[in-house]
Amino acid sequence: MVDTEDAASRPHRHDTREAVLFGGVYGSVLACSLVAALTQYGHTSRDSRRYDTAWLLVTALASALAHGYAHYIAERATHRRWDVLRALADEWPLVAAVLPTAVVLAGAGWGWWPANGVEYPAFALNITLLFTLGLVTARWSQRSWLAAITVGVMDAMLGVVVVVANAVIK
């Protein structure tokens, strides 16, 4: 028999699906936002794309650390010694969601493809990732295909909002 008082005092553990959805959506929207911000001033040299890649990765890591730590301190439970490390490690999906965009930017920085205009494939990639995350997680939840596609489209709209806002602000 589980002691409910003891179980209630333990920190909440997010299941893997919840962490992948949350971190994936957060990371993809973060990547869209950073690409929009970093390319706002038209710097399109290979050097600037390598710089953009570094800032994308640093920001993703800082966001993951901040979010994991916020989860840790927000729990009103007794923590064991290594719970903070577990809370930080649980943020891996956020960083993983940013990696495809980092590869796109780094590839432009290394000359694999043109550095000018690389933000558009990065936006398309992140919008596709958002759609896929929404679709897959909705199907994991036993939703119908129509409902899953609708969730995917709604997730993708988060990326579209960033792209449209970037175009309007420029």
> Which range among 14-18, 35-39, 42-46 has the greatest average pLDDT?
35-39
pLDDT at 59 over 90: yes
At 8, the pLDDT band (50, 70, 90 cuts) reads: very low
Treating both helix axes as pointing N-terminal to C-terminal, what angle do 119-140 and 16-38 enclose, rounded to 10 degrees? Answer: 160
Domain ranges of the chain: 4-169
The answer on pLDDT for 93 being more than 70 is yes
Who wins on pLDDT, 99 or 71? Answer: 99
97 touches 26 (CB < 8 A): yes
Measured CA to CA, the distance from residue 6 to residue 3 in angstroms comes to: 5
**Rounded distance between C-alpha atoms, residue 20 and residue 69, angstroms:** 17
Asked if pLDDT for residue 11 goes beyond 60, the answer is no
Mean pLDDT (the chain, rounded): 83
Best CA proximity match to 129, nearest among 53, 28, 60, 47: 28
